[in-house]
Amino acid sequence: RAGARGAAMEPECRVLSIQSHVVRGYVGNKAATFPLQVLGFEVDTVNSVQFSNHTGYAHWKGQVLNSDELHELYEGLKLNKVNRYDYVLTGYTRDTSFLAMVVDIVQELKQQNPNLVYVCDPVMGDKWNGEGSMYVPKDLLPVYRDKVVPVADIITPNQFEAELLTGRKIYTEKDALEVMDMLHAMGPETVVITSSDLQAPLGNDYLIALGSHRKTKADGTRITQRIRVESPKVDAVFVGTGDLFAAMLLAWTHKHPNNLKVACEKTVSAMQHVLQRTIKSAKVQAGEGNKPNSAQLELRMVQSKKDIENPEIIVKATVL
Cα 36 from Cα 23, distance rounded (Å): 19
Closest CA to 255 of 69, 83, 48, 7: 7
Of these residues, 95, 121, 153, 243, which one is catalytic?
Answer: 243
In the Cβ-directed half-sphere of 112, how many Cα atoms lie within 13 Å?
18
Strands annotated E in 156-205: 190-196
d(CA 96, CA 102): 10
Distance CA 91, CA 163 (A): 18
Q: Is 44 a catalytic residue?
A: no
Number of residues in the chain: 320
Direct distance between the N- and C-terminal alpha carbons of the chain, in angstroms, rounded to an integer: 42
Cα–Cα distance measured from residue 310 to residue 72, given in angstroms and rounded to the nearest whole number:
38
14-22/206-216 β-pairing: unpaired
Catalytic residues: 243
